[in-house]
Chain A
């Protein structure tokens, strides 16, 4: 087993036992990245800088400094996170060679915790997609089976963790973009509560939905990363100061006495293409039985507005995106068309050349739903339905401590399989989207594989700011489900 295959927890144990150094694990990671065939990275790490930083951490540890669990840990960053002086692309041509003059808060906090940034991971352009096929830098292979997509939009981050090209990665999740690729690659993906992690420095897609979170190999590792990146931030007014539980203790706490809600809507999807894959359904039901056997009480619940979640999401997220992406205009930075004889064509040509098809589709959709005469019917109505969806969860959490569902209706699909049918692609997020609309935390943990060896994901949802409950359930399943 190479050092690159370690979890953060295992690496920490070996590091403190003197069996490994940060330099050694970093070198193993850098070698693996150099050999990568999955196209997981848009910008590979600066080898010398990463090793130099690893040696610094080793020196500090040797000098007896008490560094936290992320000290010396190589972590990949989704390339929509701003990194000071390092090209940040959001997988779009429109940003050109843009180098931010600042770090995203989450990136800065990881660095302060001693982590070593190892490269900028591939993604769907501006985090718009569920297969990582919408990247201007090419698609990413699923390391489990390279014919398949790794999911998206944090496909590069998930592939990098699953392919052992880092010990952990940061992703961003607007409608499932951390949890869905985690499910498809057999990794752990956590979307924190909206406001738990600062969005400062995350290139915005849907501002009221976006959250940064970890993709890791284990539940405990996700807790380590969240501990490091969470907390209020003076540069993000939507970040909040809410006390976090003891995540490490929660991972070990077990589920005895916990009430787990099973939303019937998530298992009763219509026939035909929308139907839940039988192997996924069986795997999740098996997980539920296991949790019950460990002392959890299963409660049937209803989230009656679930069927409107995708429509609601694609109105709100695209509306916000259409506005968020207006700043990419060729005036101050990024791609500017050579063919710009006047202002109108500067805008039109720079943006036409710079954005990919899916991004253009969403900008157009979002612009439309905000237009005079349509606003009330679309955007405003969507906000009202969003409130109902939120209330569904509030009501459910009156009865239960957590909700367990599949992360996706089916396992990974083949590359090219859904690219011609955006609506089919959007259905990938059917189980994950409500969580973003409600602003609650969600985690996807591995839940076995299909007969074809493709990973299945189990999603756990909890009330806002109760990530500790997620860790409790996820930790139990990880332990007892093996």
Chain B
């Protein structure tokens, strides 16, 4: 019997995405990861007296794009607010965030689960905010690195709509694919560019009232999220079943031990004293700007997946592989444009050959030598019988190495398929004449020798003979 027969799991997520801007949300200091501590800070990040925040316009565009991708209502006038609390890695004593009027309101994301069903997860809001710095506690001392202070974030808050850890993982994966697709976030979970907090509670099967929730904070891999939620679910059920109460608290996950634990001994109730940030006027996204962002929105992974299946007759799996990463999808589509008659062949070649040689990052790189059109040209040569698949497999590495076009290489190296009947007949006749013993055995019924003859003819033609034609001619000639 499953635990889910008696209990409902309820999970909502708060995801922080670091926006892929070059500079901070309110200052001109750079945002690059991994620099020496306190080297990527200026007077604004340090919270020196008299300095003021200046909003990074690029970040605003990113937040709107994320909102559009999640079908959110866009608040064309939104308000920044101060969230007040004291901590050494928060230089101003307040974080600039959004409170009552975030940039994006309600939306939703449809997530495809492994069984092929679709789950709709409600999005409560998306707001913009600045990151805090990082504190490191070393014995009696605490060290503060403010490089991360002021890095632009969006926080995407979901409704508590997820009822299984697999749904949570599917939601987060889809969300991550989308923000990476949009170029809004690099999606790097290890470096903290994409961080998830999960609010987890349980209730008796079918109960309407939600249980007390615990917030699992800063989990940095999909596997850990699943493990943490599974553990937390069981922990809460055990508490309730033993007559105890779940205490609302913030918990961290220890991946080594596979358990969650309370972040603080005593949970303080914070009063953040939010109020509108007077240093920033209300943020207005004009109609023109909104239209411009809408215009520049790429087709998103889910739409691509569906289209690849219906338009190109691809399997769900193949459509997924081709659409999960934007550089691959764009490469694929570019290649199809060159070889529009055989998209399925293009798909096979991208998945089976190209992706063996190159990652999505490689393909996205300016240094990647094969352009989509060139790749399409290669597949076109196969599907129009100019070269065989086997030859194509030799051509591709040369393309990757030199950046030359497929036709150019085929031409230069004389790899064109031989389709001239006379020439093929000559190869076939030569092979039959040279192997009288095997011919006799074949004619006596050992049909498995056919492959041997094929191989010999292809070898004689140095791989260039059209295999279909060779096959046909061999069969008729071997019959005798």
A residues near B (Cβ < 8 Å) are 80-82, 88, 90, 95, 98, 100-102, 104, 199-204, 206-208, 234-238, 319-320, 322-323, 325-329, 331-333, 343, 347, 367, 370-372, 375, 379
Whole-angstrom CA separation of A104 from B43 in the bound complex: 12
- Are A327 and B91 closer than 8 Å at their CB atoms? yes
Residues of A near B53 (CB, < 8 A) are 237
Q: Measured between C-beta atoms, what is the minimum distance from B129 to chain A in Å?
A: 16
Q: Which residue of B lies closest to A347 (CB)?
A: B86
Q: Measured between C-beta atoms, what is the minimum distance from B80 to chain A in Å?
A: 10
- Are A100 and B48 closer than 8 Å at their CB atoms? yes
- Are A208 and B278 closer than 8 Å at their CB atoms? yes
Q: Is B293 an interface residue (CB 8 A)?
A: no
Q: Which listed residue, A88, A101, A206, A332, touches B47 by the CB 8 Å rule?
A: A332
Are A367 and B273 CB-contacts (below 8 A) given A200-B51, A238-B281? yes
Residues of B near A100 (CB, < 8 A) are 43, 48-50
Residues of B near A372 (CB, < 8 A) are 271, 273
Q: Measured between C-beta atoms, what is the minimum distance from A142 to chain B in Å?
A: 28
- Are B52 and A203 closer than 8 Å at their CB atoms? no
- Are A98 and B54 closer than 8 Å at their CB atoms? no
B75-107 interface code vs A (CB 8 A; 1 in, 0 out) = 000000010101010011110000000000000
Whole-angstrom CA separation of A379 from B275 in the bound complex: 8
Chain A interface, >50% SS class: loop
Closest 4 CB pairs of A and B: A326-B93, A370-B273, A207-B278, A208-B278
- Are B43 and A101 closer than 8 Å at their CB atoms? yes
Whole-angstrom CA separation of A88 from B271 in the bound complex: 32
- Are A234 and B275 closer than 8 Å at their CB atoms? no
Whole-angstrom CA separation of A310 from B54 in the bound complex: 31
Q: Is B337 an interface residue (CB 8 A)?
A: no
- Are A320 and B273 closer than 8 Å at their CB atoms? no
Chain B interface, >50% SS class: loop
Q: Which residue of B lies closest to A351 (CB)?
A: B86
Residues of A near B252 (CB, < 8 A) are none
If A200-B52, A203-B50, A326-B93 are given as contacts, then 6 extra A-B residue pairs at C-beta distance below 8 Å, sorted by A number, are: A101-B43, A237-B52, A323-B275, A326-B92, A332-B91, A370-B84
Residues of B near A234 (CB, < 8 A) are 54
Q: Which listed residue, A82, A236, A238, touches B49 by the CB 8 Å rule?
A: A82
Residues of B near A326 (CB, < 8 A) are 84, 86, 92-94
Q: Is B280 an interface residue (CB 8 A)?
A: yes
Q: Is B144 an interface residue (CB 8 A)?
A: yes
Q: Is B109 an interface residue (CB 8 A)?
A: no
Q: Is B362 an interface residue (CB 8 A)?
A: no
- Are B54 and A323 closer than 8 Å at their CB atoms? no
B residues near A (Cβ < 8 Å) are 43, 46-55, 82, 84, 86, 88, 91-94, 142, 144, 271, 273-275, 278-281
Are A238 and B273 CB-contacts (below 8 A) given A200-B52, A323-B93, A333-B48? no
Give 28 CB contacts A-B under 8 Å: A81-B50, A88-B49, A90-B49, A101-B43, A199-B50, A202-B50, A207-B278, A207-B279, A234-B54, A235-B52, A237-B52, A237-B279, A237-B280, A238-B280, A238-B281, A322-B273, A323-B93, A325-B93, A326-B92, A327-B47, A327-B92, A328-B49, A329-B93, A331-B144, A370-B273, A370-B274, A371-B273, A379-B275
Residues of B near A332 (CB, < 8 A) are 46-47, 91
Q: Measured between C-beta atoms, what is the minimum distance from A125 to chain B in Å?
A: 13
Q: Which listed residue, B43, B47, B54, touches A237 by the CB 8 Å rule?
A: B54
- Are B47 and A236 closer than 8 Å at their CB atoms? no
Whole-angstrom CA separation of A34 from B275 in the bound complex: 45
Q: Measured between C-beta atoms, what is the minimum distance from A228 to chain B in Å?
A: 19
Are A238 and B82 CB-contacts (below 8 A) given A98-B49, A100-B49? no
- Are A323 and B84 closer than 8 Å at their CB atoms? yes
Are A235 and B54 CB-contacts (below 8 A) given A203-B49, A323-B273, A370-B273? yes
Q: Which listed residue, B47, B271, B280, touches A371 by the CB 8 Å rule?
A: B271
- Are A370 and B275 closer than 8 Å at their CB atoms? yes
Q: Which residue of A lies closest to B84 (CB)?
A: A323
Whole-angstrom CA separation of A96 from B92 in the bound complex: 18
Residues of B near A204 (CB, < 8 A) are 49-50, 279
Residues of A near B48 (CB, < 8 A) are 100-102, 327, 333
Q: Measured between C-beta atoms, what is the minimum distance from B177 to chain A in Å?
A: 34
- Are B50 and A201 closer than 8 Å at their CB atoms? yes
- Are A200 and B50 closer than 8 Å at their CB atoms? yes
Whole-angstrom CA separation of A37 from B91 in the bound complex: 39
Whole-angstrom CA separation of A328 from B91 in the bound complex: 9
Residues of B near A331 (CB, < 8 A) are 88, 91, 144
Whole-angstrom CA separation of A343 from B281 in the bound complex: 34
Whole-angstrom CA separation of A375 from B100 in the bound complex: 13
Q: Measured between C-beta atoms, what is the minimum distance from B250 to chain A in Å?
A: 19
- Are A236 and B52 closer than 8 Å at their CB atoms? yes
Whole-angstrom CA separation of A237 from B55 in the bound complex: 8
Q: Which residue of A lies closest to B283 (CB)?
A: A237
Q: Measured between C-beta atoms, what is the minimum distance from B14 to chain A in Å?
A: 20
Residues of A near B47 (CB, < 8 A) are 327, 332
Residues of B near A208 (CB, < 8 A) are 278
Residues of A near B46 (CB, < 8 A) are 332
- Are B91 and A319 closer than 8 Å at their CB atoms? no
Whole-angstrom CA separation of A375 from B93 in the bound complex: 19
Q: Which residue of B lies closest to A326 (CB)?
A: B93
Q: Which residue of B lies closest to A104 (CB)?
A: B50
Q: Which residue of B lies closest to A201 (CB)?
A: B50
Whole-angstrom CA separation of A327 from B85 in the bound complex: 10
Whole-angstrom CA separation of A195 from B92 in the bound complex: 23
Are A102 and B273 CB-contacts (below 8 A) given A237-B53, A326-B86? no
Residues of B near A319 (CB, < 8 A) are 275
Residues of A near B91 (CB, < 8 A) are 327, 331-332
Residues of A near B274 (CB, < 8 A) are 370, 375
Whole-angstrom CA separation of A354 from B91 in the bound complex: 18
Residues of B near A327 (CB, < 8 A) are 47-49, 91-93
- Are B49 and A329 closer than 8 Å at their CB atoms? no
Q: Measured between C-beta atoms, what is the minimum distance from A433 to chain B in Å?
A: 16
Residues of B near A102 (CB, < 8 A) are 43, 48, 51
Residues of A near B281 (CB, < 8 A) are 237-238
Residues of A near B51 (CB, < 8 A) are 102, 200-201, 235
Residues of B near A235 (CB, < 8 A) are 51-52, 54
Whole-angstrom CA separation of A100 from B279 in the bound complex: 20
Whole-angstrom CA separation of A201 from B280 in the bound complex: 16
Q: Which residue of B lies closest to A98 (CB)?
A: B49
Are A199 and B271 CB-contacts (below 8 A) given A101-B43, A332-B46, A343-B88? no
Whole-angstrom CA separation of A343 from B86 in the bound complex: 10
Q: Measured between C-beta atoms, what is the minimum distance from A467 to chain B in Å?
A: 21
Q: Which residue of A lies closest to B83 (CB)?
A: A323
Whole-angstrom CA separation of A319 from B277 in the bound complex: 11
Whole-angstrom CA separation of A435 from B436 in the bound complex: 111
Whole-angstrom CA separation of A328 from B54 in the bound complex: 21
Are A82 and B50 CB-contacts (below 8 A) given A101-B43, A238-B279, A367-B273? yes
Residues of A near B55 (CB, < 8 A) are 237
Whole-angstrom CA separation of A367 from B85 in the bound complex: 11
Q: Measured between C-beta atoms, what is the minimum distance from B247 to chain A in Å?
A: 21
Residues of A near B43 (CB, < 8 A) are 100-102
Q: Measured between C-beta atoms, what is the minimum distance from A420 to chain B in Å?
A: 30
- Are A329 and B86 closer than 8 Å at their CB atoms? yes
Whole-angstrom CA separation of A208 from B282 in the bound complex: 13
Q: Measured between C-beta atoms, what is the minimum distance from A316 to chain B in Å?
A: 9
Q: Which residue of B lies closest to A198 (CB)?
A: B52
- Are A323 and B94 closer than 8 Å at their CB atoms? yes
Residues of B near A347 (CB, < 8 A) are 86
Whole-angstrom CA separation of A101 from B84 in the bound complex: 26
Q: Measured between C-beta atoms, what is the minimum distance from A330 to chain B in Å?
A: 10
